[in-house]
Amino acid sequence: MLPKLSDFGLAQRPDGPELLRYPIQPPLFQAPEVILGIGWSYSADIWNLGVLAWNLLEDRELFRDIRSEGAYDSRKHLAEMIALLGPPPKEVFEREQRWSMVPWRCSFQTAEGKHCWPLASSTEGHSSTQMNLYTGEFLYKDLIPYEFNLSDSVHSLNDNDKHLFLDFVGQMLQWLPENRKTAKELLKHPWLGLNL
């Protein structure tokens, strides 16, 4: 795998305290809040860093089977997130419900030059819910690869190094953006060995 600079085509700068809601991030790096359309901020970049760190260490993509008929499938992406991290907390479902009736501000252009709405949305530009309205459970359980989990996904490290790396990445790959560590906090993590 060759390292890639990503996100320059969809990069955005949040200039205020409110959450933003338009497409960002290449599909393989999209944070849950981006896929679900529940508003994002700087912590979406922390999610990206977690995915990128894993990809670089393992020399392959963390999210590997997220296509259907050659096209990106947000349902498969969420299913792999559930396999890796466990089911999303209730707050994710509640946020998805609140945001589901808010129209998207814009569409985006695919690699083929077609305009479409964000990945978890319907053609009208409103979110298309991924959760059961009554139970809060993921609607597409048959897509969850149960043999796939984060601790078994790391093969290039052993013992304490593996444990430290999984802890490091686990602090970034959190369902709730507010539970992710900041870049400053991550610099102090022992896996980096920076002794700050």
**The residue to which tokens 């890796």 are assigned:** 84
* Highest-pLDDT range among 112-116, 149-153, 157-161: 157-161
pLDDT in tens, 86-141: 999 989 888 888 877 776 655 555 555 554 444 444 434 434 567 766 677 888 88
Q: How many CB atoms lie within 10 A of CB 148?
A: 17
Of 140, 167, 137, 145, whose CA–CA distance to 154 is shortest?
A: 167
Of 105, 100, 143, whose CA–CA distance to 122 is shortest?
A: 100
Q: How confident is the model at residue 67 (pLDDT cuts 50, 70, 90)?
A: confident
pLDDT at 109: 52
Give domain 32-186's CATH number out of 3.30.70.20, 1.10.510.10, 1.20.1440.80, 1.10.1060.10. Answer: 1.10.510.10
Q: How confident is the model at residue 49 (pLDDT cuts 50, 70, 90)?
A: very high
| DSSP single-letter state for residue 116 | E
Between CA 18 and CA 42 the distance in angstroms is 11
pLDDT at 130: 73
| DSSP single-letter state for residue 72 | E
Q: Show Cβ contacts of residue 195 under 8 Å, excluding neighbours closer than 6 positions.
A: none
- Using an 8 Å Cβ cutoff, are 37 and 95 in contact? no
Between CA 17 and CA 40 the distance in angstroms is 11
pTM for the whole structure: 0.80
Q: Show Cβ contacts of residue 108 under 8 Å, excluding neighbours closer than 6 positions.
A: 10, 22, 23, 115, 116, 118
